[in-house]
Each structure stands twice: as C-alpha cells, then as structure tokens.
Structure 1
Amino acid sequence: MEIRRCCCHPPFSRCVLVHEKTTSLCPGDGQYGHTDRADKHFLLPDSSEVWLNAASKLQYTQKDIGVREVWLDGEAWFHVRHTAENSRFIVHTYDKLSVEVLGTQFNVNNVGDKIAVVLQEGSVKLNITEQQGQTPTQLYLRPGEALRYNKTDGAYTKSKTDAEKAAAWTRGQLIMEDYTVADAIQFMQQVFDRHITVKDKKTLRYSISGSMPISYNADTMLIQFEKAFNTRFFRQDK
C-alpha cells in the first residue's frame, strides 16, 4: 500500500460504525452477475468483453442485428467488438443516461447517486433524457475524457481524466486521488454491501492520495482503510 499525501487527517480516536449485511446475486438467462466479492471477466455473445465489478449485475440482449443492448447495475469495464454490420452497443443505467458505441473501451460506474463514464479508446455518445418524451441531450467523449452525472438533480460535468486509473480495479488496484472517507464508505457498500454510519460528518471529508491492493475480504479491506485514514472501524451485526 502506498499513501503519498494526506489532507485533514483524523486522529486515531475517530471511529466509524460498520453494519454487517450480506446479499446475493442470481444471474438468469442473458444475465451476468456473481456472489463473489471480486471482479469477473465475461465474454458476451457478440465476443465483446466485460469485466464486472463485485456485487454488480449486467443483462444482455440483441433484439435485431443492428442493436446490442445491456443494462448495468453496478460497475463494469467494456471492450466492445466492432461488428461487420456496424451494430450499435448501448449501455443502459436504469436511469436517464445511456452510453452508445460501435467499438471501444470504456468504464461505467453506476453506483449510488452518481454515474461516471470514462473513455479509454474509441468514442462514445451519451444520451441524457431529462424528461420522458423529450429528445435526449447528446454528448460525445474522446479518449481520456469522463462524464459524471448526478442522478438526483440531473447535473453533469465533462472533464479530462486518466482512463488507466479508472480501470485499475480490473487489475486489482484501488487508485486514490483526494480519496475521502466518504469514497471509502461507498466502496465498502458497493463491494461488500456494508452500511457505514459516521457520527461526526467532518470525518467524511478527510482525504488521502495513493494506491492500495483491492482485497475482496471485507475485514482485510477495512484494516487497510483504517491504516490509510488512521481511523478505527467498529463492526456491528445487523
């Protein structure tokens, strides 16, 4: 584990309460998911590749030769294969945002109240539907660009980013740039479905930068976060 910089570091007396809870995923026809707390690699029927993060689900369908569609709940990295028919590949997020491509590599994180799309290679078109029946707003990303969409108010921003870092989780690394306790809480909820209670809201703003290996053992990951943030986590069964 490498921690390069700490901001507003909390004293060790700070404590965070972790509620234990376990859920399972049951993939069916055309669905990809897993109960393991680790990322999984899948090959879709069109030979596109998907790395599905822990506690994530993906449903694939191809109604006709011109359109391939998936519905994502969680986080996934895609390497979409271009087809001879130039069929579109559309990622739906169960919200007002969808991602449309022909052949490319990109990451989609649909967790919590935000959606983040990071493009590594090729190009993508983003369709944002503000109200049902309206023509969607269309945005395009170039390699090294990201779009972050707020599900609550519909606000979005486009910015430059390091696409390699966005896909680091597929290589078992957690890259932290101004990574806050709030980010760690979201990670624990996404990967392990552990709900964390913070009594002192100031704790949420404590941030660090660096990297650490991702462990798909909840207790090990909590210990790593304790060391990184100099914060103590207390477990409580729920």
Structure 2
Amino acid sequence: MQLQPEEHIFQLLLRFIEDDLSPEESKQVLQWINASEENTTYFEELKQTYQNAEEIEDFDKIDVDRQWEVFSQNNLNQSQQTKSSISFYIKIAAAIVVLLGIGFLLPTQFNNEVTLIAGPDQKTEFLLPDNSKIWLNKGSELTYSKSDFNQTERQVTLKGEAFFEVKKDVLKPFVVHTNQTKTKVLGTSFNLKSDSSTGVTELMLLTGSVSFSSDSDSVILVPGEKAKFVKGKKIQKTTSYNLNIPAWKSGVLMFDQTPLAQVLTDLETFYDKKITIQNKQLEKCKLTSTFDNQSLNSVLEELVLLFNFTIAEPSPEVIQLQDGSCLH
C-alpha cells in the first residue's frame, strides 16, 4: 500500500464522494483519479471504505460534538476549521481506522504528526516519504513528524510490531523509538516488536547492521543476531534466532530439525490458536518442513501424516495432538 495522497487531495476525494464539489473541483478530482492506475485504485478503495462505513449500525451515534471539544482544546493555535468539516473527517477517520479495522494513514490537517495504522485483523504495507517500506502487523501503529522526517534524521515511533526495509541514506540515519529503546540504522531490513504491557522489545536483523539501545545499554547487531530488551534489565543479544519471527509478514513458516515444542510455539503465534501435545515426550521430536501460506488445518494434516497424531479439541480455543510417535 503506497503512502496516501497529500491532504488537499484527500479532502477533495472525500467531498467528491459526498457530491459536495463545484464543477471545477469535480473536474480536478477526475483528472487526478485518471492520472494513474495507482490513483484510480486508491480512490476506489477509499470510496468502498466510506460506503461500508455508512452501513455500520449505530455509526451515527459517535459523539462528534465531544470530539470537536477535545480537538478545540488541544489545537487552540492551529488554523481554524469549520465544525461541519471537522465532523466529517472525524467520521471518516473513525470509520476507517476503528470500525472497519483496515490499514490506513490517518489524515493530519490538524497537526504535524502522521499516523500509520494496521487494523486489528490485517497486516498492512506502507511506503514512507524516503521510499523505505514498512509492514505493520495487525493492531500496530507507526508515527512520524511530517515536517522533521527526512531532514537530518528519519525518526519514527512504533507501537506493536513492524518489518522494515529501510532505504539506505548514510547522511540521514533511520531511527525507531519504541518501549524505551532506540533502533538506529542507515539502510537495512529488520523485524521489531514491542509489547507495552510487558515492557519487552525484540529486534531481529536480516540484512545490514543496526544499533539497538536503551537508556543504559547499547549493542550492535549483524545479520543472524537478535536482541531482546526488558525494562530494568540489560539488553540480551543472541546469535541463534527463530527464523519464523517475521513469518507474520511473509506467511511462510520454516523448520529445520526443529523440536516440536518450538514448532507448536511458532504455530500458536502465527495462527493465534493454543496447540498442545498430550504426550510431552514427543515435544522433542524434530520437524523439517516449510508451510507456505497454508491454513492451520492443512498444517495439522501434515503433522498427523508425519507423526501419526490424532486431533482433539477439548475447547474452542485449544487443539490437542494426541497419540503419535517420532519420525524414524
């Protein structure tokens, strides 16, 4: 998903959907839409999203007046906007980001901060102004300053998990702030995950090198290394990392003589389902296989075939692998 159009285009597109433009403005919008395939696709997605938002039950019960009061208190020095206009954008933003749960760039005509959001059930790709690519895992957010980004540094703040492919620029380091840590790179690819509830931040480096630091500690990582930070403790660096940490982005799970205990941990994370083995001794069995964008049922069928398991579901949230034997 490419970075969205500038604010004035965004506003015109929304007003075009609402049939609230002059003939001259409508002509301008149509020219923009037809200027490229990307523009056409973006408009169609925005139009569909808006139409879906209109169909959401009780959507009009959003307290727009209260939202306006909060906005006014926090933005006294900003340029004035009409109440009807603000209400309109609050409605669209709330629909797109909260109720529909899709990835989106939150409009920022009220301040200097850009917020990229992935919905609760969807990973989303974005293109940053420096042409760096990021993939946000479901429920994650990334923010940056519209005026400061790509000036002397490329600073962003992450909540949740993201995979980064950073465009190389030796003069402007790319810096990610999250959970009292700072990741600094010039150009590389890495997976970064933070959990604000536990205070744990994990970084896995795929290419290039990064500096990973907290308030009191700092390490340099090279490809094949992973760092873990827990608030109040020193950064832990390891060289034996899990190949499946970025699987949420690629959809590919890879195992190479991996104990079934680790296999099930990775499957649980990927499919968001509790999976257990009744005979704990079988957790030491090894698996070598690759699951490429397969359903959980497909993966379980392969485990049944390889290890003679039978499948039981003691509860809707739990799958249990019973019986079975190791490969010979």
TM-score (normalised: structure 1): 0.62
Compute the displacement of 1:138 (Å): 0.8
Q: Which runs of 5+ in 2 are unaligned?
A: 1-99, 107-114, 318-328
Structure having the larger proportion of residues in strand: 1
Q: 2:286 aligns with which of 207, 210, 225?
A: 207
**1:32 is matched with which residue?**
117
The AA in structure 2 aligned to 1:224 is: E
SS at match of 1:219: helix
8 Å CA contact 1:50, 1:79 repeated in 2: yes
Matching residue of 1:21: none
Shift, 1:127, TM fit: 0.9
Q: Secondary structure at 2:160's aligned position in 1?
A: strand
Counterpart in the other structure of 2:144: 61
* 1:118 lines up with 2:204 in the alignment: yes
The one-letter amino acid paired with 1:147 is K
Give the number of aligned pairs. Answer: 201
CA deviation string 1:67-98 (max 9, x = no partner):
42131424x43111245861432152x4x544
Q: Is the 8 A contact 2:291 2:299 kept in 1?
A: no
Report how far residue 228 of structure 1 moved.
4.7
Amino acid at match of 1:177: D
Structure whose alpha-carbon radius of gyration is higher:
2
Deviation at 1:159, TM superposition (A): 1.9
- The amino acid across from 1:122 in the alignment is G
Question: Are 1:107 and 2:191 matched, yes or no?
Answer: yes
**Counterpart amino acid of 2:302?**
Q
Per the alignment, residue 133 of structure 2 pairs with 49
Cα gap change, 1:181/1:214 in structure 2, threshold over 3 Å: closer, same or farther? Answer: farther
Tell me the residue number matched to 2:310. Answer: 232
- Distance in 2 separating the partners of 1:183 and 1:157: 19
Mapped contact 1:146–1:158 kept (Cα < 8 A): yes
- Amino acid across the alignment from 2:175: F
Deviation for aligned residue 1:237 = 1.6
Report matched runs for 1:52-201 at 5 Å.
52-53=136-137, 55=138, 57-62=140-145, 64-65=148-149, 66-74=153-161, 76-82=162-168, 86-92=172-178, 94=179, 97-108=181-192, 116-128=202-214, 135-142=215-222, 144-149=223-228, 151=230, 156-159=236-239, 170-201=249-280
Offset of 1:229 from its aligned partner? 4.6
Check whether the contact 1:72–1:91 (CA below 8 A) recurs between aligned residues: no
1:145 is paired with a residue of what secondary structure? coil
Corresponding letter in the other structure for 1:31:
L
Report the 3-state secondary structure (helix = DSSP H, G, I; strand = E; otherwise coil) of the residue aligned with 2:267.
helix
Deviation at 1:194, TM superposition (A): 1.3
Gaps of at least 5 residues in structure 1 are 1-23, 129-134
Return the offset for 1:137.
1.0
CA-atom RMSD in angstroms: 3.9
Partner-residue secondary structure (3-state), 1:136: coil
Per-residue deviation, residues 167-222 of structure 1 (Å, max 9, x unmatched):
6775543221332333333333323321234444434333322323232x332333
| Cα distance in 1 for residues equivalent to 2:260 and 2:208 | 34
* Length-normalised TM-score, structure 2: 0.48
Q: After TM superposition, give the deviation of residue 109 of structure 1 in Å.
A: 5.2
Q: CA deviation at 1:162?
A: 10
Q: Distance in 2 between matches of 1:172 and 1:126?
A: 26
State the distance in 1 between where 2:202 and 2:305 align: 28
Point out the structure with the larger helix share. Answer: 2
The one of 212, 222, 226 aligned to 2:300: 222
- Going from structure 1 to structure 2, the CA distance change for 1:61 and 1:230 (only over 3 Å counts) comes to farther
Question: Structure 1 223/176 Cα, relative in aligned 2: closer, same or farther at 3 Å?
Answer: same
Higher relative contact order (CA 8 A, sep 6+): 1
The farther-off stretch of 151-160 and 58-67 is 151-160
- Separation in structure 2 between the aligned mates of residue 58 and residue 190 of structure 1, nearest angstrom: 19
